[in-house]
Amino acid sequence: MVNLNVILPDGFLNEEIRSGYKVSHEMKKVWAVELDLLAEFDRVCKKHGIKYIASGGTMLGAVRHKGFIPWDDDVDLMMMRDEYEKLCKIAPSEFKHPYFFQTEDTDPGVMRYFARLRNSETTGIQEYEESSHFRYNQGIFIDIFPMDAVIDDQKLLNKQAKDEKDLRDKMFQACKWGHHLPYTNTIGYKIKKYFILPLFGNFIKKLFNPNKLFHQYMDICSRYNEVKTEYLSLLTFDFYNKAHYIKRKDMENIIDIDFEFLKLPIIANYDEALRWKYGNYTELVKEPNYHGEMIFDTNISYKEYFKTHHF
């Protein structure tokens, strides 16, 4: 596997049974890459005084398993929007190869509304994206989500939700017609590349400017961040899902907890938050993660993967 900066405990990569579930040697290598990313992320955040906490299944894994959920393959983190914006400013100068901090600004065309820290020397491709051969970085990653205020006024929330949906629909068109084309040899791709874009490219870019729409979208989701609302949520990720709600006051009391051989910050009121999100979270229930099935390779980069599998 690729070289890592984090020091793995003896035997960490060995296959083992956790909570009745077999964790393979190959999955342990993926975990190792993600823990290396987490350690580097934590280093940069501490250097700049940026606060973050574990989110979703990562928080659940830390509490219930003191590490990864045995069948999980990702790390989810979140932070207040102002901390997130600070991170985005310093990240390009702080994260050096093979680490890559990925947003729409650092990797145009990725069109995700949260950040990913990736290891560029590995492969971590979402299965449904494989056939598109997108040009953006697709190394193994951890997710970093911004938290925005959930306005208490239902009418204002409904209006914000409508604006969010309208712009998301427009952004979908931007993805189809934007400059960031996938690697593919389909007829539709060739027609777009060699006929439509040369003739109408400038007009299309003005009409569906991905980067401009991306920042407009972020502005919509952060519209009420100056209001001290009761709840925060991952609006840019999943606007309508109340399972992502977290009480603002809980962000005032953060504790460190074991996560494999590292420490991870979570809210002290984790029990209430986990019950809100998962119900009886102590019960072992195998559920799919948000990004779906993954193609992992800890030995080669995503660029090499595409060369050997598609060209």
The string of DSSP letters for 3-22 reads --SSPPPTTTTS-EEETTEE
pLDDT digits (tens, 9 = 90+) for 214-235: 899 999 999 999 999 999 999 9
pLDDT digits (tens, 9 = 90+) for 107-120: 987 888 999 999 99
pLDDT digits (tens, 9 = 90+) for 125-159: 988 787 777 779 999 999 999 999 999 999 999 99
Q: How far apart are CA 174 and CA 84, in angstroms?
A: 24
The string of DSSP letters for 169-229 reads HHHHHHHHHSS---S---HHHHHIIIIIHHHHHHHHHHHT-HHHHHHHHHHHHTTTTTS--
Q: By C-alpha distance, which of 241, 252, 247 is closest to 272?
A: 247
Q: How far apart are CA 83 and CA 89, in angstroms?
A: 10
Q: How far apart are CA 268 and CA 138, in angstroms?
A: 34
Looking at residue 96, its pLDDT comes to 97
Q: How far apart are CA 160 and CA 308, in angstroms?
A: 45
Residue 169: CA atoms inside 13 Å, Cβ hemisphere, count? Answer: 5
Mean pLDDT over residues 33-47, rounded?
Answer: 98
Looking at residue 15, its pLDDT comes to 97
Looking at residue 135, its pLDDT comes to 78
Q: How far apart are CA 292 and CA 305, in angstroms?
A: 19
Tell me the pLDDT band of 242, cut-offs 50, 70 and 90.
Answer: very high
Mean pLDDT over residues 272-288, rounded?
Answer: 90
Looking at residue 29, its pLDDT comes to 98
Entry pTM = 0.91
